[in-house]
Amino acid sequence: MVLILNNLQACDATGADETVALPTLAGASHAELIEALGSLGVPNRQLRMRSSQLWSWIYARGISAFAEMTDVSKDLRAKLTEAFSLERPQIVTEQVSQDGTRKWLLRLPKRGDEAEAPEVETVYIPEADRGTLCISSQVGCTLTCTFCHTGTQRLVRNLTHGEIVGQILLARDRIGDWPGAEAPQDGGLLPDSERKITNIVLMGMGEPLYNFENVRQAIEIAADSGGLAHSRRRITLSTSGVVPEIGRWGAEAGTMLAISLHAVNDELRDELVPINRKYPIKDLLEACRNYPGLTNARRITFEYVMLKGVNDSPGDARALVKLLAGIPAKINLIPFNAWPGAAYECSDWEQIERFAEIVNKAGYASPVRTPRGRDILAACGQLKSASVKLRASERTKATISSGD
């Protein structure tokens, strides 16, 4: 059973709201808050103090109305309310899988030259001891990995840093992950930890290193200890292998790194992950060896999607182990998540186990990532297009529908 909590699409199928929305400060950087306050006539000598107050209300307490900022003067609150909002990205649909995974389809503000308001997806995956939020960095993707559904869509645009942070704020709102907030009563499972979102992964739509500056700024905001306070060690950026940006990312953002490897030789990787033609495996692994802060305690995760008869032989497993020798690494085997029209099948379970055994024997803990949220098409590589399909048929349905 799939519980669809929100289907705002039904009320506003066109997104053609002509009223001009106020600019939102939800997702703003320190500099942007200072600029906003300056534009309202706050004197220079007060700007720092006032922006810190706003920061704490927006990012530590998660308020979504300026009126709640009780230590800010009434006059300033009124001015803020008149000129700005604290709006999050608009929810088009919110789905809760039977395993507790939640997926939001979000609509971003339309820009001048865009025919339609772009949409992206955010997924929350609760487990017993952790909660992982998977966020998107681009609408679509310029790369064309042959096994990835997002890769079949053209790039619409990069997300701004505010839109990337907006996904975190919205998820925190919806699962009650603010101090004193209540968890939702809809049967969705939540982890036992004090915080509901313990980990953030940039594994949604898009190639985050092709939107470097916005993603970097967003992580800056998310990691700030006086606000959202997500430790950089619990934030993971996944890349298909944009080699020239890997070292810079480590130096400037300092998050954990995941590499979408998926093949052990250039011939096959050229086909599966075409960016490999530009940056072959040797160069990619060299960039990994030089990743700033890499130690045995801070390993790189190598993602490996299991494609039946393509990359899943015992020989491939042995070659994988050999290839990664000397790099502090974790290996994540991902069962292929099929999508309509995909040219691949997921490896048989016995084949995955055989593969995992070889990798384990070589000393890698290689958990096979259990597919989550399959009933709501929320698994890796299934984002966006599939839900567009789903949504079309759901528009006319009641708010609770049956899945598989």
Instruction: Kindly determine how many residues on this chain lie close enough to bind ligand SF4 according to the rule CB under 6 A.
Output: 11
Is 143 one of the binding residues for ligand SF4 (CB under 6 A)?
yes
In the complex with ligand SF4, the residue whose CB is nearer, 172 or 374, is: 374
d(C-alpha 378, C-alpha 134), whole Å: 10
Task: Figure out which of the listed residues 151, 162, 191, 335 binds ligand SF4, where binding follows CB under 6 A.
Answer: 151
For this structure, is 380 an active site residue? Answer: yes
Q: What are 319's two structure tokens?
A: 């070659």
Q: At what angle do helices 212-223 and 243-252 cross, to 10 degrees?
A: 20
Nearest to 67 by CA among 55, 81, 51: 81
HSE toward the beta carbon, residue 218, CA cutoff 13 A: 29
Binding to ligand SAH (CB under 6 A) within 93-152 occurs at 145, 147-149
Please state, in angstroms and rounded to a whole number, the distance separating the CA atoms of residues 273 and 143.
8
- How far is C-alpha 110 from the chain's CA centre? 21
- Please, which of residues 276-335 interact with ligand SAH by CB under 6 A? 303, 305, 334
Residue 202 touches ligand SF4, criterion: CB under 6 A:
no
- Candidates 49-57, 110-118, 144-152, 284-292 — which segment interacts with ligand SF4 by CB under 6 A? 144-152
Instruction: For residue 167, state whether it binds ligand SAH (rule: CB under 6 A).
Output: no
Residue type for position 139: V
Q: What angle do CA 217, 221, 224 make, to 5 degrees?
A: 135
Nearer to ligand SAH by C-beta: 72 or 155? 155
The minimum distance between CB 148 and ligand SAH, in angstroms, equals 3
In DSSP terms, 107 is beta-bridged to 90, 119
Catalytic residue status for 121: yes
241 touching ligand SF4, by CB under 6 A: no
| Shortest CB 147 distance to ligand SAH, Å | 5
3-state secondary structure of 6: strand
Q: Which pair of tokens denotes residue 73?
A: 């003067």
Near ligand SAH by CB under 6 A: residue from 239, 276, 347, 387: 239
- Tokens encoding 189: 């499972």
94 binds, among ligand SF4, ligand SAH, none (CB under 5 to 8 A by kind): none
CB 102 within 8 A of CB 96: yes
Pick one of 200, 285, 380, 390: the residue that binds ligand SAH (CB under 6 A).
Answer: 380
Q: Select 87 or 163, whichever has its Cβ closest to ligand SF4.
A: 163
Q: Which residues of 137-170 are buried (b: 16+ CB within 10 A; e: fewer)?
A: bbbbbebebbbbbbbbbebbbbbbbbbbbbbbbb
Is residue 150 near ligand SF4 by the rule CB under 6 A? yes
Report d(CA 101, CA 42) in Å as an integer: 43
Rounded to whole angstroms, the Cα distance separating 18 from 193 reads: 43
Residue 337 near which of ligand SF4, ligand SAH, none (CB within 5-8 Å, type-dependent): ligand SAH
Give the CA angle between residues 163, 385, 344 to the nearest 5°: 125
Q: Which of residues 260-289 bind ligand SF4 (CB under 6 A)?
A: 260
Q: How far is the CB of 65 from ligand SAH (least distance, A)?
A: 34
Among 100, 381, 385, 394, binds ligand SAH (CB under 6 A): 381
Task: Tell me if 65 sits within 8 A of 84, measured CB to CB.
Answer: no
Cβ distance 252 to 216 under 8 Å?
yes
Residue 317, class by beta-carbon neighbours within 10 Å (0-12 exposed, 13-18 middle, 19+ buried)?
buried
Contact residue for ligand SF4 among 76, 96, 139, 148 (CB under 6 A): 148
Residue 260 sits in the site that holds ligand SAH (CB under 6 A): yes
* Sites of contact with ligand SF4 (CB under 6 A): 141, 143-145, 148, 150-151, 206-207, 240, 260
* Sites of contact with ligand SAH (CB under 6 A): 145, 147-149, 203, 207, 238-240, 260, 303, 305, 334, 336-337, 380-381
So which residues are the catalytic ones? 121, 380
